[in-house]
Amino acid sequence: MQNNYESIIIINSNLEEAQIKDTVTKVTNLISEHGKIESTEEWGKKKLAYPIQKQNEGYYVLINFSSNPDFIDELERVYNITDEVIKHIVVKK
């Protein structure tokens, strides 16, 4: 059974634009392998509500997708070990 999810990731804004695009591609490819992406919105650089890892800005990306519930643990594991991702959340719609 597939559920609908929404994921927001905040990428370190000090990275080069190519590195940011590579990170977004890496995440969307992983999700595509295990589910179906409905939409990806890159919100760009925004000020953070509070400093995270001594950063005041982050590059926001919103991804709407559907996948099996078992995949979410793997996705969050990948987010946690990806150095470029400074914050993330995955919410079931």
* 1 pLDDT tier (thresholds 50, 70, 90): confident
Residue 77 lies inside a defined structural domain of this protein: yes
CATH number of the domain within which 81 lies: 3.30.70.60
Q: Flag whether pLDDT at 76 surpasses 90.
A: yes
Write down the pTM of the prediction.
0.91
Q: Dihedral sign, CA of 28, 78, 42, 34?
A: positive
In order, the DSSP letters of 11-52 are EETTS-HHHHHHHHHHHHHHHHHHEEEEEEEEEEEEEEEEEE
Residues contacting 53, CB < 8 A, separation 6+: 12, 86
For residue 23, the enclosing domain spans 3-57+65-88
Residue 93 lies inside a defined structural domain of this protein: no
Domain count, the chain: 1
Residue 22 lies inside a defined structural domain of this protein: yes
